[in-house]
Structure 1
């Protein structure tokens, strides 16, 4: 990829371009350039709106979710950058657009795929990616690509003084670390999907289990589509365009389309759905709390209201000092209230069939 070859990709001026517009901006007026700008612009605006919604929600979420919200904010920031990056490929390669192409391409995808990898680790329960440490893992993973791209720019472009003259294969090899992140995130997502599918629950955790299955499926689908996009653009860039005689005419359009397509895959598959999960209120039980009004312990003696009356603990076996049975000898400190059948949680106690003379029928005569 060199300046002369890319700048002369289109010898005729598009119909929508003015005569004063420089040749390196002609693709902005071409049909494919306008289509890419429209689709990428819509994706960029969508990312900004989601980030604003997440920032407003971030002040209300619990501390347990704040770390995941910060990592999601980094992911949306990277996705917005991916939607803005096609403009540096629509404009012809120059010393001004070269650093954006070489540096920002890998860093933005490293940040996005690093966020997906950290989310998968957090869903698996890895302690390293829990809470605010998830955002730290995302930044640490993206920092590696920052170092790789910076060294490549300094060594290849500055020390060798090559003026952005690099081949398509070299540009693809610069993204090896990003491909490793993509593969690791896909492996983590598949493991979480397997774990969510083989786990069974029959209690209140069933709703959480269904939500985990949905999250795992969306994460794996997003990563699989991203793998397909990367396989297509790398194959076309390194072999397909040259084999069909379309290189370098189709090189920049291929990357622009790949950036826009992968941006929408990331936005719809993970960004939008995760914001919906994050903004969803916590589930609350529909049943009202139990009302234990009037139920007191044995040691307390509250003022007896009008609807309270004294009663015996068990009148079937209650005896007093003179040997009489069945008398209402109330236990001190115990108050009773008439409660409805819906709130009746008492345990029935056994009673004899003959309270006055319990053994007469057994012996057949009076003892």
Structure 2
């Protein structure tokens, strides 16, 4: 399915999950009477988008946390040095994905000062961290695909963090200018034009496009084993671009055209967050975690040419048994009598067995002895 088919499908999903525009003064079904109206979307059984997004976000929080633990725990078993050097960058990417799932709850609950401030600041920062890690990984893949040697792990991580730090500075200054220095009234981060929110994410969009474009040359490298990692980044950034085009179109034009401008803004952003975070998990995190412990062709060749013996209980018993048999054979050869090594006379009656030291005279010897006896008289 191309980009032309992805965009209408994403728009249909957004329209299907968005809530009907209605003002609600009494607690909806599923919510308690003493519950603040700020949290109605978390328990309203009639709001399909709130229940669905909440469930997916909760599952995403658990999944991303477990995958992060699995990736860190598998680090001692990574035999490919280039893959091991990229684990730190991938861990930071997974932390950013974990933060996106958590931030989704900010858009499910109602707006107030704290939720609006965290939305405006963390939306761009978390996406900036994820796209910076993807861009740094794509740059490292270009070196690996051509030379089979990439930059050091701390260099790749430093590039990703520096790129993300730019978005942190941008959002901090933007939030300070628009909220802390607001003239003519109290500071309210919820009062914000839609176009201003989207324009503040311009740098994040640049990172997304840069990661998508940088991953393409890795598919043409000399070392083909790195192509699948470039394909993971391409699939992730390609679907992310489709999601971003869909939610910006709905946020800026679609909601207003449908006549539900204030009521559909938060659901649009919440669905975009959880959809993009799920794309990160399915298209990048899970494939990378499953490939991180796989051996490269160099390691497989070394293992085939120089097989290693497993150190186990059975191996130790076999070695001890062979050593004891060697010692017994050596002792037997040392205790062998010396006459057994001498040639045996053909007149000794040898029948295939070793003779003892008892003297056994023959008939000829007895006859000679009798003739040698002196005659009587």
What TM-score results when the alignment is normalised by the length of structure 2?
0.68
Q: Is the 8 A contact 1:65 1:131 kept in 2?
A: no
Q: Which residue of 1 aligns with 2:159?
A: 137
Larger C-alpha radius of gyration, 1 or 2? Answer: 2
Query: Which ranges of structure 1 fall in alignment gaps of 5 or more residues?
Result: 1-7, 200-207, 291-367
Structure 1: how far apart are the matches of 2:243 and 2:181?
A: 33
CA root-mean-square deviation: 2.1
Cα-to-partner distance string for 1:18-73 (whole Å, 9 max, x where unaligned)? 11111111111133211111111111111111111111122444664443000000
Per the alignment, in what secondary structure is the counterpart of residue 300 of structure 2?
coil
Q: Is the 8 A contact 1:169 1:238 kept in 2?
A: yes
CA shift at 1:99, angstroms?
1.9
Higher relative contact order, chain-length normalized (CA < 8 Å, sep 6+): 2
Q: Which residue of 2 aligns with 1:284?
A: 300
Q: Which residue of 1 aligns with 2:211?
A: 185
CA shift at 1:155, angstroms?
1.0
Could you say which structure has the higher helix fraction? Answer: 2
CA shift at 1:168, angstroms?
1.3
CA shift at 1:106, angstroms?
0.4
Choose from 4, 16, 31 the match for 2:30: 16
Structure 1 residues 168, 75: closer, same or farther in 2, change over 3 A? same
Choose from 15, 29, 50 the match for 1:33: 50
Per the alignment, in what secondary structure is the counterpart of residue 11 of structure 1?
coil
Q: Which residue of 2 aligns with 1:163?
A: 188
Q: Which residue of 2 aligns with 1:239?
A: 253
Structure 1: how far apart are the matches of 2:228 and 2:83?
A: 18
Structure 1: how far apart are the matches of 2:306 and 2:175?
A: 65
Q: Which residue of 2 aligns with 1:265?
A: 279
Q: Is the 8 A contact 1:114 1:141 kept in 2?
A: yes
Structure 2: how far apart are the matches of 1:289 and 1:22?
A: 68
Q: Which residue of 1 aligns with 2:60?
A: 43
Structure 2: how far apart are the matches of 1:226 and 1:281?
A: 30
Q: Is the 8 A contact 1:118 1:129 kept in 2?
A: no
Cα-to-partner distance string for 1:219-242 (whole Å, 9 max, x where unaligned)? 111111000000000110011100
Q: Which residue of 2 aligns with 1:96?
A: 114
Structure 2: how far apart are the matches of 1:117 and 1:97?
A: 29
Structure 1 residues 172, 191: closer, same or farther in 2, change over 3 A? same
Q: Is the 8 A contact 1:121 1:129 kept in 2?
A: no
How many residues are treated as equivalent by the alignment?
271
Structure 2: how far apart are the matches of 1:118 and 1:289?
A: 36
What TM-score results when the alignment is normalised by the length of structure 1?
0.70
Q: Which residue of 1 aligns with 2:139?
A: 121
Structure 1: how far apart are the matches of 2:73 and 2:248?
A: 39
Q: Which residues of 2 match residues 58-97 of structure 1 at below 5 A?
A: 58-61=75-78, 64-97=82-115
Cα-to-partner distance string for 1:61-107 (whole Å, 9 max, x where unaligned)? 46644430000000000001111111001111111112210111100
CA shift at 1:287, angstroms?
4.0
Query: Which ranges of structure 2 fall in alignment gaps of 5 or more residues?
Result: 1-20, 308-377
Q: Is the 8 A contact 1:67 1:135 kept in 2?
A: no
Cα-to-partner distance string for 1:275-327 (whole Å, 9 max, x where unaligned)? 1121224442364449xxxxxxxxxxxxxxxxxxxxxxxxxxxxxxxxxxxxx
Structure 2: how far apart are the matches of 1:185 and 1:65?
A: 19
Structure 1 residues 129, 150: closer, same or farther in 2, change over 3 A? farther
Choose from 168, 173, 185 the match for 1:146: 168
Structure 2: how far apart are the matches of 1:25 and 1:85?
A: 15
Choose from 73, 98, 103 the match for 1:56: 73
Q: Is the 8 A contact 1:114 1:142 kept in 2?
A: yes
